[in-house]
Structure 1
Amino acid sequence: MAEVGSGWEEPYAHHRFCIRHLASNLNSELKNAHLKNLFGRAADSRQKEKFIKYFDRIGELKFEAREWLVKDKPLHKWSIYHDGGFIYGIRTTNMSEYFNGVLKGARFLPITALVKMTFYRVNSYFVTRRGWGKRRLDEGYEYSEKALKVIEDNVKKSTAHKVVSFNNEQGLFEVTTCRGSRPSGKGGNVHTVNLSRKTCTCEKLKIYKLPCSHVLAVCRYRSLSHAEYVDPFFKTSEYRLTYVKSFKPVGDVSRWSAYSGPKIVAPPSQKRKPRHTPSSRFRNEMDQNTRGKKMCSICRKRGHNKKTCGYRNNGQTSG
């Protein structure tokens, strides 16, 4: 089970479980893939009714599974609905894994080479993204590419919604999604939008911090700008500020100031001999191919298919 953040805490840091790892642990504990899928649906549910439906189904299928989830696993640490909108819908540690990819190859290097490689790669990372941020600002893009894509998609959906006003001063509206407004053909759902409180019963505005199609439908109905309902986090200016700091060149070793601190030397008995360093990573069921190796339709053996089968190539058939 992985948890975002540990050992330190800032005023706006919120620790959460990685849903993918938690689901894997649940499957390892109870050996039930169906329970794992139900847990994923419960964790992803944005609305209270849907969460209760899937969570109750977990308890009905296996009471121990529900007890396992309740014990030492607070709902707000793995349920999107109970999160309170603090993690912008992020459910896994993919963000951390992405940055690990930036430093790929640095592990197991000698300490000097590891520090040098990390320094220059992170510097390159910042230089590239600082340039991207400046270029988007110069081109007049107010929001990030992802935010713009979500807003554009939701604007298209909103054109098929029906809006009924209940109180213009309080910003209270009812929005009905018309059938056929979505690729799946679903529709006919009714949601309540409160512009003054910045809420919608679909909960997407609170969770993802971007205006849902229902809010955009009301904005179009009232000829209002949707900018107020986009979190500042998605602004290009904020992206630019993330990478505004810069690293300073190290310079040639000959120009470094003399080091006067303690000298640390590893005991000879603890020095490793030159060889491949084994990984200490614990593998689990997520690392396994759940589909297994394919079976050859000719010889009925695993590890190859009929095109590469030795029996077929030799003109033989299995008995």
Structure 2
Amino acid sequence: MTLDLNSIQGIPKDILPDKVDSIQIIKGGMNNQNILLNGSYLLKAYIQRDEKNDPVQLRYLREKTAFVKLTNLKFMPNFLNSYEKENELYIARMWAEGRILSLTDLDNYTDTLVTTLSSLHRQHYTCEADYNYFDVITRYLQEYRHRFRNQKWNLPDVMAVSSFYDQNKDKLVELEKSRLLTRIHGDLVFSNIICSHQKCIFIDWEYTTYGDPLIDLAYLITQNSIAKKSERKLIRLYAHHNFLEIDPRRLSIYKNLMNLMSALWYSLQVMRFSNNKLTHSELNLSGTQFEELAKQGFSQLKIH
């Protein structure tokens, strides 16, 4: 969507380029709005929401810290500026040239993707806004339980979902005595991976944290519906590139947990916005579509 110059009047001048010739709204998420200025200057405005568990300030801090700590690495977009004052939070970076990774292109970019991911997983900085993925799933489960208590939904029973989570978490704890912790991206959907000329750039660092790198692998595989053959190639190359053996049991459990987190997230969109006919997601999905995706996710995990 192309806009006129009046549309940026409320944005602080300190975060804008010296001259603005063109403005275009780029599809963003529930937490932000992306504005492309002059065809190459991408301005990300963080949206304030009533999100007590993960305030927008923490998402902003995680992304800003990633740009500062990782700025010279090839997989990062070029950082330009940041702005924070009271409830106004902005990050400016250069537009990442290329196209979004897809299943069609995956085989051609698997080597590059593995090299890029391995480079990220060699980073070990920490940030005060880091979080634990278990905490995210626990929060989703608590809200799911609360909303289920107040209204009946055509979704799996709370006890069945809780039992699945507890079983997988307990199994994982038993296997984690020697786990490796690194910097992870935390949200590696294909729309956050831009590829061109045998290079991959990771964008949208709001959910980066310090954690088990298998989380990134499991998330990448499950949230992009990567086929088994491509998954095996990805895992084999990653293990070879990093001189390690990947425990298939741990990876399988993480995949279960990532799928559970996704199913819970879709469920909560249905529950939160059940009385609102408007679309409430960067995915542009209706409540009915959210519910169908939630059911598919639970069914895949054999939670009924």
TM range, smaller chain: under 0.3
Larger RCO (CA within 8 A; separation ≥ 6): 2
Q: Higher Cα Rg: structure 1 or 2?
A: 1
Q: What is the TM-score normalised by the length of structure 1?
A: 0.22
Between Structure 1 and Structure 2, the one with more strand by share is 2
Q: What is the TM-score normalised by the length of structure 2?
A: 0.23
